[in-house]
Structure 1
Amino acid sequence: MEKIIHQTKTSHSWETHTICLDENEIKTQVVSNGWFKTPIPYSKIKRVIAHNKALNCVKLETDKGNYLLQASNSHQRDQWFHSLQWKVTLEQYRGILLNATSATLVQDLKLLVALAVNSHLYISDTYLPVLNIVSQLLSKKSASLSNISHEDLITALAPLVENNQPTHEICDFFIKHCRNAPRSLIVLDTFTQIVHRILKENVNFGKSSFLRLFVIEYIQALNCQNNPSEAIEKFLHRVHGPLSQCPHPRILSNLVSVCLSAIYHCFGSEIERKRNKKGTKVSNLHPAVVSHDLQSVNILNNQKTLSTKYMKNSLQEGKVADDVKTINTENSTLDMNLKESHSKQKLNKCLEETTSVFNIETMKLFVFVMDKILQIDDWGPNVAGLLQPLPFPDEALNNKEFLRAMYPLVERITQDSRDYVIKTLQHSREGKDGWLQLYSLNSPLCEDNGKLFSSMVTALLLPGVQSGKRKKFLTMLANSQLQAIITLAVRESEIMIQLLGEFLELDIIPDEQKQLQIVSTLLCTASGNKMYTELCSHRDVIHTMEGPTYFKLAPNSTIVDLQVLLGTGSWGNLRELDLSFTRPTAGIASTLSRLKNLKHLNLRFTDFNDKDLKGLCDSSLNLESLNLCETNVTDDGIQHLCVMSHLKYLNMNSTKLSLPVFTTLKGSLPSYVKYDVTYTEAW
């Protein structure tokens, strides 16, 4: 803006300038050799006065003279007056606080915070200068602050940081309080709101890792309460909110990021040892540097940044010692070598025991936090999806304590009723391991004899989970987990026996020797022997390319009638099957999946439901027409029809089909498919 400047020390003269209110001074953006040749520091301004309202002027009184700033209108003059008054007042408080004694510091700080909170200025940086003053105070007067109650200082700062992001220095001050007094009421009363705001509004912990470190230390402080589990649950429910859906999408991703980062750094010492082992230097620590107080051993100190392939930015980490020395023992005697080696081994063992206990407990804490987040209904699927690619360092995935801590969480995902949650147990990309491989009986870290592995396979084979990719999933299991499946089948695991039967039925394993292994495994158990006998009889019936191409089952027939019918004779040539008006048909999908050449299926007015439809979609049938008129299917099952790419006609008349699902289905299937959606919401 164009402004007129008038200095009144020696003479009256007007100059036109474009003025900028900088952080510490007033300066002009116009090259001048006049009165405004040098900037005017706020510290030199004694008073700001609204002068000569008729001319819209603001008067600045300094040691060198008085300046008149003339604005173009009264509104602009008032803006200058209040902004300059605010800048000068802040500069005065800066000097007062930096020179204050311990007795008056808290009171002066409260006055500054009250001034900022009650300010009527509507500018974006109202609080930023105040935060900078407080940061400068905490960094320059850290020695004198030790004589002042930290709780009094935090209480004074609370109104300022509850609605504004704390700076690096303020976060360091809060972190020290969390470590030194984790059971203080300030942690529960004041820090909770500050952490809530950080999780709600932060968009990138990579640029503000000190905020993430503060959240980590806050959660560790909650773990020191009388009832840590209850304290953590209350915190999570508070940040989630009272509604069934959390209204702030950033909170979940930030919480998971905090947990993953903390877990990663729990294994930082092991990573560092591996790096030192690969290098040419040997760590030589003096026993005096080893602390026997676990509270003082904190690998999350703000000292050093580590990176991982899963996270672009990570928290900063401290070390017990950074100096690495090379030990030269060429001219030493054998006795001295043995003595020094024994001393070093004893020291390293002591250090490893001290840090490993702390690391394991910290890791268990943040795994517990993720487990609690997973239990919140609307957050559970997203947490499972975020954990699907196993975003942990290799040191964690090869650690028994970590896998033991993650066991309840993975088990909870397995027991979830939602298909898309269960699917996260598989690997996210081809060639990558998932939770299924990690807890497999093939893994050397498996401690439950394949119990969780069996549960995961059972869940992943539920109708609808594979969404038409069941055979691909079975092929993956046959290629990578066959020996584990055979071992569990020998132990009479029903799901593993069923898997081996499907391997043979679908010709998934071409290797003749492996087929013989499977047959021998099935014959060594009673249930396996029965399954193999049934499989052989079904093969004779289904694979014989004879019999009718069309068959209609009589009304009011049951699935038992169909199973008996398909268990004898020759049905390998059947292309069209009419089961309309038969009852009941629940559980018929597994029977129909054996008819490999079936192209047309009529299920009108049956009790065919979503579970059966999901099973039908998971089968390898290439249906061209499907009649679901007046069945019990809903959107939950209909959405899986998108995998039936060979369909030409689909009848969903009088079903509970909604318009959004129908729109999505039409976009997934070929454009030539004809639909009948009469008497549905999509009609």
Structure 2
Amino acid sequence: MATSRDEHFPVALNKQNSTKNNKTGPRYKLVHQGDIQVCRLNHTRTIISKIMNSKYLRRWESHRLELRDHEIGSTTPTGFLEHPVSYSSVEEVNIISRWDAGQKFCLRITIADGSLLLQANNAYLRDQWLYSILWKRHIYKYEKLLKNSRRPEVLVKEIKSMVDYSLSTPIHDTSVYQFPLELVSEILQQNEEFLSKIEHENIIVAIAPLLEKNHPTQEICDFFSKHCRNSPRSKIVIELFTPVVHRILKHNMDFGKHPRSRAFITEYIQALSSQNDGIRVVKNFVKTMHGPTSVCPHPRVLPNLVAVCFAAIYGCYEDRKTFMLNNNSISSYIMTEIHDRLTCYLAILETMSEFEDWRPNLASFLQPIPFPDDALADEVFTVHMCPVLRQFALDSRCEVHQSLLGIREGKEGWFHLYCPGNMACEDEGELFGTMLKALICCCCKRKKFLVSIIKMINPCMLLSLRENEAAMEVLCGMLEHEVIENNDLKMQIITTLQSTASGKRMYAATCDRQIALRELQQKGGPKKLTLPSKSTDADLAKMLSSGSFGNLECLSLAFTQVSSACAGELIKLPSLRYLNLWSTQFGDTGLQLISEHLHKLQVLNLCETPVTDKGLQCLAGLKNLRKLNLNSTSLSALTFESLKEKLPGLQECDVRYTEAW
């Protein structure tokens, strides 16, 4: 029986390959062109030639030397370099250790009919030219050998030799790694059908060290994908492909430009899922991609993994549709294979949703429901999405659980999809109830939310009969905020609430609040009210519960300790036109609430409050606003321009000490 390989994912290659990269000594940038002194020596066959080549009669020429792909040449082809020197004619390149005191930084290029001497200004430049020429000469040789060879064993041997040379050369340049990869890509395209499985693996092992710091080419990605498909349980998948996949997921910026990289990762994940206990292996892989810390240090991992999952899930349903069109039916084997693939990628989404730092972005990616209709009608898909959506619903952050709603007004979201009676609801409304609880308790625009779900009132009444507290709270909220106009429907809601002990208790509390609200809003009481400094939310609530404030038009809470929590009391003041919150802790949450209810407000002072663009954008709903003080807030210039456009009646707006100033 095959053993499981899911316990760890190596982030480095095996020791043998890793040590090849441990270069010591100086590193040199690859020279393509440069100024150098050149001297040509012919073989000394006669006395005259010996005399002419003696050190006293040698002539040096200045040339701008070029190391081209196939030859060494000069930008001014005259004198010694009138004709370029082909790399194929070079027999040896070496440093001349014994030389004149004034000409000691030289190297010799031995060719068939003599030698070419190059003299640099210092030892470093001499060595830089030496290793650059050697590199160019070697890649020329390997290119010629590999392109002309058709014997698989020769190909594998020469690829290994080329990679070893690339890893050992002191030249530090991207081409040192990229050229071998590109050459191997070209060779694979020409010879892939002649290579056996063992030779496939040998080539993968050979080029793996080059991929520690470089992305594979698209052709190599195809080659790797084929290996994942044909040998998914090969140890190469875990030991050698894992670091490559890690690098792609951490650094890739656009799979649209590199679709075969995404295809390779898809095949790699499929290979992982074919291991013993494959789903656990895949989940462990996602966890290693996140890392052990609370925040993933690589911001590209999440969007890249999401892109892979979306494409793979979409591909599952496209494959199923294609099989149906071609065969009018799908065999049980194909159905099982598609089911396993689908489960694998949904498990990745579930694992990603478990990480708190990934959840906001993952929620935003999923909010538009970027899946085909076939997926939304498939029980396998909808059931496996439940854990992901439950994580969103249980997250206290608005940006996360608000993503359960449609991406824009009028567009249905996951919340609507899992409503009892809809095709995705398979749990008798349990998930819907969890989402409902998160959204009804959310600080963002409660009344607006209640209005938006009037069409779901029947499922809410059903859940209320089953003593779901969130559903009961929704029904009570609809009665309290008077979002239901139909009297018969109101009576039906009341009857539903009184059918259970919990509902009866919540309805009674709603009635008590309504009575208190009517007493508060009775005509009478002061028109102006100023709370003493240091007053708290509790003090304001106590003050407003002491009598009628139906005439209150002006309320100053400046320099008090009130916060957004007092917004629930402020919205009970129907006549309020002036509200001063200067230097309080009133924030975005409270601003969102009063913007929805206090439509008569004309003057609002938010100077030195912790409000941000998130809350300030909601002020666009206060169409009667005439004066606004945003001095010393976190207002941005963009939000300020938006407010001016949406509030044409705004006459004064203090934006000193803000970005918009």
**What TM-score do the two structures reach when normalised by structure 1?**
0.69
On the 8 A contact 2:520/2:544 being kept in 1, the answer is no
Aligned AA for 1:620? H
Aligned AA for 2:448? K
Q: Secondary structure at the match of 2:174?
A: coil
Query: How far apart in 1 are the matches of 2:73 and 2:421?
Result: 72
* Residue equivalent to 1:655: none
Mapping for residues 260-339 of structure 1, pairs under 5 Å: 260-270=310-320, 272=322, 283=326
* Residue equivalent to 1:620: 597
Alpha-carbon deviation of 1:7? 7.8
Change (3 A) 1:488 1:665: farther
Change (3 A) 1:454 1:628: farther
* Residue equivalent to 2:237: 187
Q: Which of 577, 588, 596 is 2:574 aligned to?
A: 596
* Residue equivalent to 1:391: 370
Say whether 1:496 aligns with 2:471: yes
How many percent identity over aligned positions?
A: 32
Alpha-carbon deviation of 1:200? 1.6
Say whether 1:525 aligns with 2:488: no
What per-residue deviation string (whole Å, max 9, x for no partner) do you get for residues 370-429 of structure 1?
221221222222211222222223332333321221111011110012222122222222
Q: Secondary structure at the match of 1:443?
A: coil
* Residue equivalent to 1:445: 424
* Residue equivalent to 2:5: none
Query: How far apart in 2 are the matches of 1:523 and 1:152?
Result: 75
* Residue equivalent to 1:456: 435
* Residue equivalent to 2:55: none
Say whether 1:134 aligns with 2:112: no
* Residue equivalent to 2:399: 420
Change (3 A) 1:637 1:430: closer
Q: Which of 212, 217, 225 is 1:167 aligned to?
A: 217
Change (3 A) 1:675 1:69: closer
Query: How far apart in 1 are the matches of 2:109 and 2:361?
Result: 58
Query: How far apart in 2 are the matches of 1:47 and 1:440?
Result: 78
Aligned AA for 1:417? S
Change (3 A) 1:198 1:183: same
Alpha-carbon deviation of 1:148? 2.7
Change (3 A) 1:485 1:40: farther
Query: How far apart in 2 are the matches of 1:617 and 1:489?
Result: 29
What per-residue deviation string (whole Å, max 9, x for no partner) do you get for residues 225-282 of structure 1?
33434433443333333433322222222111111111121111255579x7xxxxxx
* Residue equivalent to 1:307: none
Alpha-carbon deviation of 1:164? 1.5
Which stretch has the larger CA shift, 170-179 or 578-587? 578-587
Query: How far apart in 2 are the matches of 1:558 and 1:83?
Result: 75
Change (3 A) 1:116 1:576: same
Alpha-carbon deviation of 1:2? 7.2
On the 8 A contact 1:523/1:532 being kept in 2, the answer is no
Query: How far apart in 2 are the matches of 1:565 and 1:15?
Result: 99
Q: Which of 122, 125, 134 is 1:85 aligned to?
A: 134
Query: How far apart in 2 are the matches of 1:674 and 1:123?
Result: 53
On the 8 A contact 2:131/2:170 being kept in 1, the answer is no
On the 8 A contact 1:414/1:455 being kept in 2, the answer is yes
Say whether 1:349 aligns with 2:329: yes
Aligned AA for 1:180? N
Alpha-carbon deviation of 1:121? 0.7
On the 8 A contact 1:489/1:521 being kept in 2, the answer is no
* Residue equivalent to 1:380: 359
Change (3 A) 1:35 1:390: same
Query: How far apart in 1 are the matches of 2:128 and 2:544?
Result: 91
Alpha-carbon deviation of 1:450? 2.8
Which consecutive residues of structure 1, in runs of 5 or more, have no partner in the other structure?
Answer: 277-282, 284-346, 653-658, 677-683
On the 8 A contact 1:178/1:187 being kept in 2, the answer is yes
On the 8 A contact 1:613/1:638 being kept in 2, the answer is no
Query: How far apart in 1 are the matches of 2:243 and 2:284?
Result: 13
* Residue equivalent to 1:255: 305
Change (3 A) 1:396 1:503: same
Which stretch has the larger CA shift, 395-404 or 41-50? 41-50
Change (3 A) 1:67 1:124: farther
Q: Which of 454, 460, 472 is 2:448 aligned to?
A: 472
**How many residues get paired?**
582
Change (3 A) 1:570 1:242: closer
On the 8 A contact 1:425/1:434 being kept in 2, the answer is yes
On the 8 A contact 1:489/1:497 being kept in 2, the answer is yes
**What TM-score do the two structures reach when normalised by structure 2?**
0.71
Query: How far apart in 2 are the matches of 1:139 and 1:674?
Result: 64
Q: How large is the Cα RMSD of the aligned pairs?
A: 5.1
Alpha-carbon deviation of 1:177? 3.0
Alpha-carbon deviation of 1:365? 1.0
Which stretch has the larger CA shift, 381-390 or 641-650? 641-650
Change (3 A) 1:34 1:379: same
Which stretch has the larger CA shift, 182-191 or 159-168? 182-191
What per-residue deviation string (whole Å, max 9, x for no partner) do you get for residues 503-522 of structure 1?
4544545xx5x453233332
